[in-house]
Amino acid sequence: MSLMSILTLVISSTLVYSAPLIFTSIGGTFSERGGVVNVGLEGIMGIGAFAAVVFNLTFADQFGALTPWLGLLAGAIIGLLFSLLHAVATVTLRADHIISGTVINLMAPALGVFLIKVIYGKGQTEPISRDFGYTSLPLLKDIPVIGDLFFAKTSGPAWLAIIIAVLSWYLIFKTKFGLRLRSVGENPQAADTLGLNVARLRYAGVMLSGILGGIGGAVVAQSISLNYSAGTIVGQGFVAMAAMIFGRWNPLGAMAASLFFGLSQSLAVVGAQLPVIQNIPSIYLQIAPYVLTIVVLVFFFGKTRAPKADGVNYIKAT
């Protein structure tokens, strides 16, 4: 293989792997910036994957090539509704965030499989007919070298995720809403004293995580697994949480961390087929992503700090 084709391969598989993680880890960032720990991301992704697959199977004939994109919307809406459970439990009813999130995680795959059984009469769905596949971006793909590497055979949802990451960074750090969201995550008392509605802002944070987590699940289902079963989402939600922490509760950081996970995963697989690297026992390639993560965390990062009131329920004094 030529260097060019190796690079193309590594970049495109990194983007495919990272796309759902970027969406979901940014979702987690919104929730935690507002002070609600969301370990339910895994469950939200699962229900988003379920919604996207059902939508895709039902409407593929009507919407044609547009179906997977609308499937993202379906995943977002159902993810939003599902995250409301978490918001009601934690913000309104002041439940423990970890317990509520765990309930979400336990409920999602069971509910998904149950509904698949009710709708289709079997334990997993048929493969979807319209998936994301590979996209080539018009104009950008004609740039010499870079076009071939990044835009000619690439993942559409990944580029959408990168755009969303930049927008989210702007939203959190440069707008009034972002400042308010961060303030209820750091010091809800002070925010309340200044007249902010803590509950409403926290709801907004959790709902944004529901939308983005649902989209993340929909991306997995429509670009990687192509059907829905209990095994569609196994662990991606937790990897996304790790990316959020790794990225220091910053959307751009979360995006970079997700891409890093994707890159190390892709190098481990692609490396096994490359000359020279091929001769390294495969076990070292398989543990490489994890070793790299630890090395990066230890040497390049100081102490990471979560929002101060993250996971702490706010009880308004009356």
Partner 1 sequence: MKRSGKIGIGLGIVVVVGAGIYAATAGQSNSKASAHTVALVTDGGGVDDHSFNQSAWEGLKAYGKSADLKQGKNGYNYFQSNTASDIKTNFQTAVKGGYKLIYGVGFAASPALKEVAKNNPKTNFAIIDDVVKQKNVASLTFHSEQSSYLAGVAAAKTTKSNTVGFVGGIHGDVIDTFDAGFAAGAKSVNPDIKILNQYTNSFTDAAQGKTIAATMISKGADVIFQAAGGAGNGVFAEAKADNQKLDSSSDKKVWVIGVDRDQYTDGQYKDKNGKSANFTLVSAVKRVDSAVEDIAKKSADNKFPGNKVITYGLKEKGVGLVKNSASNETWEAVQKAQQKIEDGKITVPVHP
Q: Which stretch binds partner 1 (CB under 8 A): 22-30, 187-195, 209-217, 266-274?
A: 266-274
56 contributes a contact to partner 1 by CB under 8 A: no
131 contributes a contact to partner 1 by CB under 8 A: yes
243 contributes a contact to partner 1 by CB under 8 A: no
278 contributes a contact to partner 1 by CB under 8 A: no
23 contributes a contact to partner 1 by CB under 8 A: no
Of the pair 126, 142, the CB lying nearest partner 1 is at: 126
266 contributes a contact to partner 1 by CB under 8 A: yes
24 contributes a contact to partner 1 by CB under 8 A: no
223 contributes a contact to partner 1 by CB under 8 A: yes
Residue 191 and residue 312 in contact, taking contact as beta carbons nearer than 8 Å: no
- The string of DSSP letters for 29-78 reads HHHHHTT---TTHHHHHHHHHHHHHHHHHHHHHHHGGGHHHHHHHHHHHH
Of the pair 293, 313, the CB lying nearest partner 1 is at: 293
Closest Cα partner for 209 from 236, 241, 233, 186?
241
Closest Cα partner for 72 from 150, 130, 127, 5?
130
Q: Which stretch binds partner 1 (CB under 8 A): 143-151, 204-212, 220-228, 303-311?
A: 220-228
Q: Which stretch binds partner 1 (CB under 8 A): 47-55, 140-148, 270-278, 297-305?
A: 270-278
Name the minimum Å distance from CB 210 to partner 1: 23
One of 208, 265, 307, 309 touching partner 1 (CB under 8 A):
265
Name the minimum Å distance from CB 277 to partner 1: 12
Name the minimum Å distance from CB 152 to partner 1: 11
316 contributes a contact to partner 1 by CB under 8 A: no
Q: Which stretch binds partner 1 (CB under 8 A): 11-19, 37-45, 46-54, 193-201?
A: 11-19
**Rounded (10°) angle between helices 3-33 and 198-220:** 150
Whole-number Å distance between alpha carbons of 105 and 165: 25
Please list every residue from 89 through 118 that binds partner 1, using CB under 8 A: 117
Name the minimum Å distance from CB 1 to partner 1: 6
Q: Could you list the residues that contact partner 1 (CB under 8 A)?
A: 1, 5-6, 8-9, 12-13, 16-17, 117, 121-124, 126-127, 129, 131-134, 220, 223-227, 229, 231-232, 234, 265-266, 269-270, 272-273, 282, 286
